[in-house]
Structure 1
């Protein structure tokens, strides 16, 4: 491996230690998640995939440039993050991480907190039930296909739409993102609630809500819905030493790895996950499959090769602009820019639809996305700034969770979404989080405001001291 590879590893280690030491300040854990995402999508790419193939296809020069860009990204992120956090969360800097308090002092066991979990669960149940009535209407009453595709063999998607969207298809997308964040929320509630009625209710909803994602062929939504509940159970509910929790997570990782491999087989062969599982015995003697798509470093290498050869030029922020205006319905802006279309065409990965429009089908990676926007030096810094901003947003949810418990659900879900935006920093992945934030604001407004912070802390502290 070239020198910048080892420098990148050293920088990740250095800033990882810095982030871990800052865990009580709320930004440390999200920062660790960002650095872990960098390892998964970039550092591990060179190990997991065949690096020699990259050398032959892309060339050493472009690959070395890519490693320098990874190094610039890590250094910029590690330096910028504390300052952005201090700027955005200035009024909350005196507070300590509520999440760490839940882990160390079991704040969630407080009767006051459990009462709020019960109230949150009731509100979520009402919203989810209303949404599912609409979903049942959308699929013509096919409840089995909607809630139990593993039995029917057919998955009904109540929120399906055209790829580009037309009219007010944004409303359909809105419903799908709301369903996703509520599903993840029920997983977290099931993990942390102590009230038997609340746990039973959340468990029943999980049994109904998880299968459409679990037996789908989209890794992003699988991880976003089910992993938050797992993390909440391991760190907030499971009693035992840290090595036990890490062992449980390792076992869960192996299970997820098996499941995602099965998903990749189903995607490649055009079969449902359930069908692939039923054929699993026939595959035992077959070579093991690997996860496709874990190659964002390779994509970064291609980006550098195209820029160096003059085949592609950085678009000076056009792609970021397309991401920002994406929430605007196409009915209001017919010629709204498409996300990443120029690079998709350069890579030969664009699909031309019946209407003659080309839609992008390729991810550049969070660092590569910065490079296609602003070039090899300023691009990684731009990407690092966006990830630092996301870190500060997650830290804010942590700091406010002590008196708005719904933010804890958003925080845990956001940690998982951090891994998903390693493929692209895009609202298409983050919509569930921001729609959930909007739902929390509406609920808080209807209830006449959030809990009083001082009274909440005093009651919780008093219970813990008992």
Structure 2
């Protein structure tokens, strides 16, 4: 066991108090996203000293203390800012019911299924007609997959199209799970189960836990919130699901680089989860700034995240993300044109520290996450199946934001929101056309010729 600083335990106590506060506000739309963000920070920053104690013991105590002071600043700032963000982002009362833009869950499900089939056809074409290989990439990272592409300029002119298709594909297969509890019993739910059984293996076999979580978590949250089963039935079911996810992730870690053709469960059970080292990355960020290895980037990495929306085929010199930090961590070189053979996630709070320092950095991150909570609360307040779907997708992506506030995580929600706006616009146009047609028919039906000098009776 390593000796942890007082700031670590103060952060734990603050986290516990904020979780209790969030639980006491459970009926508010922002409560669950609020609790989810807190749980995300706890998972990424509080567990590592005990999960990898030997690795964590290599750091100087002063840097560990500073790192957890930034976590404490984040927690306090997040608690203060979130209620204000939720209030300012909630929809106006007159916009809560938009009957003219209502689209049923069945219509959403059919639209998503159609898009999934189109993307699957494109992905199968990229796999040279290998449909089974597209749906079940048993080779993991060692073989080709539907949405495999190189990094940086090596991705070529169609890199953005491939990435977009990959994010949309992930959005579709996540929607099958989250929409299940919105659908009426019968053939729609049966079809949803069939599509889940066909499409979800890709999420596990492609080798990225981020994609797996983004696929599965929205469905889990949908079950917790909208299933009619009792609370006491849901608890053991959720425990079983997370135990299965834990085993699935261990299998993924053990075999994703060599393929899943010959899985030995006994080997997988002994594997350790990797990548839960955002606390270490935060300590590195503090250390690099203190020693002058890196300078504050003053938000340039956040700008690079926003610039990610522009295809590299249009902006060939689009800024890269996290390259300086990866080089400082010793990952420079390699054959790639981006200058490193691997990029390293800052971590949510470490990203802010690298941008604005150990005080302003965590406050800025707290502002971002408070806005995130407000946006999700807004979606839930709007109630329609489309907006609730966005809410569930956002909740499912929140844990992945613990590795950094990045469009690489948020793209499914961005594309989902764009699709929702298009579907709602079409629904309004259709409702308006039907209403106008009904009005014209009614006027024609009740119209009668008016003779000269006849008075027109007033309308009711």
Distance 1:371 1:220 in 2: 23
Matched, 1:83 2:84: yes
Kept in 2: contact 1:215–1:273 (CA 8 A): yes
Matched, 1:262 2:251: yes
State the SS of the aligned residue for 1:159: coil
Structure 1 unaligned residues grouped into runs of 5+: 97-112, 453-466
Deviations 1:119-149 (A, max 9, x none): 2111212222222222222222211111234
Matched, 1:187 2:177: yes
Please name the residue that 2:307 is paired with. Answer: 325
Distance 1:441 1:5 in 2: 43
CA separation of 1:335/1:394 partners in 2, compared to 1, >3 Å: closer, same or farther?
same
Kept in 1: contact 2:105–2:385 (CA 8 A): yes
Please name the residue that 1:463 is paired with. Answer: none
Please name the residue that 2:450 is paired with. Answer: none
Match of residue 218, structure 1, among 174, 184, 208: 208
CA separation of 1:138/1:414 partners in 2, compared to 1, >3 Å: closer, same or farther?
same
Aligned pairs for 1:103-252 (under 5 A) are 116-150=104-138, 157-164=145-152, 165-240=155-230, 242-252=231-241
Aligned pairs for 1:263-278 (under 5 A) are 263-267=252-256, 270-275=257-262, 277=263
Please name the residue that 1:18 is paired with. Answer: 21
State the SS of the aligned residue for 2:344: coil
Aligned CA-pair RMSD? 2.6
Please name the residue that 2:456 is paired with. Answer: none
* Shift, 1:154, TM fit: 8.7
* Shift, 1:156, TM fit: 5.0
Distance 1:445 1:94 in 2: 15
Please name the residue that 1:340 is paired with. Answer: 322
Please name the residue that 1:29 is paired with. Answer: 32
Greater C-alpha radius of gyration: 2
* Shift, 1:351, TM fit: 4.4
Kept in 1: contact 2:91–2:378 (CA 8 A): no
Matched, 1:421 2:406: no
Deviations 1:392-417 (A, max 9, x none): 111111111x2x31121221121121
Kept in 2: contact 1:338–1:359 (CA 8 A): no
Deviates more, 1:318-327 or 1:116-125: 116-125
Distance 1:280 1:72 in 2: 42
Deviates more, 1:131-140 or 1:420-429: 131-140
State the SS of the aligned residue for 1:313: coil
TM-score under structure 1 length normalisation: 0.85
Distance 1:451 1:433 in 2: 26
Paired residue total = 423
CA separation of 1:414/1:350 partners in 2, compared to 1, >3 Å: closer, same or farther?
farther
* Shift, 1:79, TM fit: 0.5
Distance 1:441 1:79 in 2: 32
State the SS of the aligned residue for 1:352: coil
* Shift, 1:16, TM fit: 1.8
TM-score under structure 2 length normalisation: 0.86
State the SS of the aligned residue for 2:214: helix
Matched, 1:366 2:322: no
Kept in 2: contact 1:341–1:359 (CA 8 A): no
Deviates more, 1:17-26 or 1:380-389: 17-26
Deviates more, 1:62-71 or 1:343-352: 343-352
CA separation of 1:118/1:354 partners in 2, compared to 1, >3 Å: closer, same or farther?
closer
CA separation of 1:171/1:152 partners in 2, compared to 1, >3 Å: closer, same or farther?
closer
